[in-house]
């Protein structure tokens, strides 16, 4: 499905791909219920873990008679994916799976999501709707600077861009010099990347004398995969003259294209004909009314490979009560700025302290005492790890210390996929605790 002939601009209400965004509410709710009943049946029939949990609660698929009945269903969490690694939550046979995506888990093992052909097609459609909402059209040239591979960012936006009919530049992350060169040479009008990396590109561009307003054709930025603020939106827009949009998603639900903000920036519109949202109190797990802050929970209504029932995202937000001026009927949530668990997002990559720990402790001479310091230099996240090493080490010559430092850095990078600077410290120099130890200093 291509939309190359589309002449609509951002003020024209309905881009062809966006029609479901404007569905009458009654129709939307009926569709959601119908789809919810279908996905609950599929999961009950195919996923033993969830069937067991439903049976323990005495809930059968036929008990779902209204959307409010969703509260009868069990939640799912990231550790379910880890415990059932790699395929335990799949609801389709392997011959129907066409692509895997992964995200880091709390151990060395990633979580694995299987996509059927249908999942890939529907994911492309929600990414197209996200891009259409940002004003991206078939005449645009889009630089996709999100990583390609197991991470969903690159391929998700790539398929969305191709679906809209724009010319996609699949450059992936890194190599700032080349990013800046191609942005200008290819007449890039849309960039999709993490907001922090874009700010880094802007800084580097300014150092090279690039004026983003006059030396590039950039109009839109599609920024997500990490929390960012309204202040950062203003900073980006002021520095470059582009419109900065917020795109939200997570691997477990599909990747980017779960929700997106429109030109009014009143929060992120959820593609709720595919992803049913709830807000719960993370302590009591009780559903919260619209307008009250809590943890975002999604049920995938149409996915077949690894559908999710009431998936707890750990992201904190609230469902907005006011309708948006854009006329879309799909609801919005407030931008996500916090998480209820301890997952760190460093340069757009999910990192758990326990992963860093296992990287450190794979190296001889390293003691199990460390501190993770995260700062922001300019607009880029910096990760520094202070780690205690044996006292004898300090008797070694400078060159041996340097070799050890680099060995530790490599070991950590192998696991978390981003670089960290390592500071070796003497035994007993880092804080100790009798209760819960605090090993992360997030100073961003």
The residues of the shown chain that bind ligand DLL, judged by CB under 6 A, are: 103, 146, 152-153, 224-227, 246-251, 255-256, 313, 315, 336, 339, 345, 350
The minimum distance between CB 337 and ligand DLL, in angstroms, equals 7
The minimum distance between CB 225 and ligand DLL, in angstroms, equals 4
The minimum distance between CB 258 and ligand DLL, in angstroms, equals 8
The residue among 76 and 251 lying less far from ligand DLL, judged by its C-beta, is: 251
The residue among 225 and 366 lying less far from ligand DLL, judged by its C-beta, is: 225
The residue among 116 and 313 lying less far from ligand DLL, judged by its C-beta, is: 313
Q: 86: cis peptide before it, omega within 30°?
A: yes
The residue among 22 and 148 lying less far from ligand DLL, judged by its C-beta, is: 148
DSSP conformation class of 292: S
The minimum distance between CB 314 and ligand DLL, in angstroms, equals 7
- Alpha-carbon distance 11 to 313, whole Å? 33
Characterize 328-353 residue by residue with b for buried, 16 or more Cβ atoms within 10 angstroms of its Cβ, and e for exposed: bbbbbbbbbeebeeebbbbbbbbbbe
- Alpha-carbon distance 2 to 138, whole Å? 9
The residue among 256 and 294 lying less far from ligand DLL, judged by its C-beta, is: 256
CB 44 within 8 A of CB 60: yes
- Alpha-carbon distance 4 to 19, whole Å? 16
The minimum distance between CB 195 and ligand DLL, in angstroms, equals 8
The residue whose Cβ lies closest to ligand DLL is 224
The residue among 340 and 362 lying less far from ligand DLL, judged by its C-beta, is: 340
Region of residue 383 (phi > 0: left; psi between -120 and 50: alpha; otherwise: beta): beta
- Alpha-carbon distance 437 to 420, whole Å? 21
The minimum distance between CB 296 and ligand DLL, in angstroms, equals 8
Q: How many helices and strands, by DSSP H and E, does the chain display?
A: 10, 20
């Amino acid at each position: 499905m291509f939309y190359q002939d589309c002449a609509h601009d951002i003020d024209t209400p309905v881009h062809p791909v966006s029609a479901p965004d404007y569905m009458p509410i009654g129709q939307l709710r009926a569709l959601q219920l119908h789809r919810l009943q279908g996905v609950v049946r599929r999961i009950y029939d195919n996923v033993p873990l969830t069937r067991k949990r439903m049976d323990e609660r005495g809930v059968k698929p036929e008990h779902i008679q209204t959307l409010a009945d969703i509260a009868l269903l069990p939640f799912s969490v990231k550790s379910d994916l880890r415990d059932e690694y790699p395929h335990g939550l799949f609801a389709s046979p392997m011959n129907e799976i066409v692509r895997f995506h992964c995200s880091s888990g709390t151990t060395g093992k990633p979580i694995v999501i299987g996509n059927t052909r249908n999942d890939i097609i529907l994911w492309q459609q929600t990414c197209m709707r996200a891009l259409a909402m940002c004003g991206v059209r078939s005449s645009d040239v889009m630089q996709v600077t999100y990583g390609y591979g197991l991470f969903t960012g690159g391929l998700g936006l790539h398929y969305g861009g191709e679906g809209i009919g724009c010319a996609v530049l699949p450059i992936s992350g890194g190599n700032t010099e080349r990013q800046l060169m191609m942005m200008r040479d290819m007449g890039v009008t849309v960039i999709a990347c993490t907001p922090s990396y874009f700010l880094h590109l802007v800084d580097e561009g300014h150092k090279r004398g690039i004026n983003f307003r006059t030396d590039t054709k950039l109009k839109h930025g599609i920024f997500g995969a990490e929390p960012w603020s309204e202040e950062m939106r203003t900073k980006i827009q002021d520095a470059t003259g582009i419109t900065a949009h917020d795109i939200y998603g997570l691997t477990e639900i599909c990747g980017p294209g779960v929700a997106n903000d429109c030109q009014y920036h009143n929060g992120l519109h959820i593609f709720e004909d595919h992803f049913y949202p709830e807000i719960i109190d993370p302590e009591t797990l009780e559903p919260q009314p619209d307008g009250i802050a809590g943890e975002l929970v999604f049920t995938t209504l149409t996915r077949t490979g690894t559908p999710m029932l009431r998936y707890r995202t750990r992201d904190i937000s609230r469902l907005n009560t006011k309708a948006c001026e854009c006329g879309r009927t799909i609801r919005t949530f407030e931008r996500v700025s916090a998480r209820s668990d301890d997952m760190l997002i460093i340069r757009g990559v999910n990192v758990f302290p326990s992963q860093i720990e296992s990287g450190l402790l794979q190296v001889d001479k390293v003691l199990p005492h460390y501190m993770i310091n995260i700062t922001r230099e300019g607009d880029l996240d910096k990760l520094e790890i202070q780690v205690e090493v044996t006292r004898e080490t300090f008797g070694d010559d400078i060159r041996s210390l340097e070799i050890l430092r680099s060995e530790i850095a490599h070991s950590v990078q192998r696991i978390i996929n981003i670089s960290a600077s390592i500071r070796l410290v003497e035994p007993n120099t880092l804080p100790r605790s009798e209760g819960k130890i605090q090993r992360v200093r997030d100073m961003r």
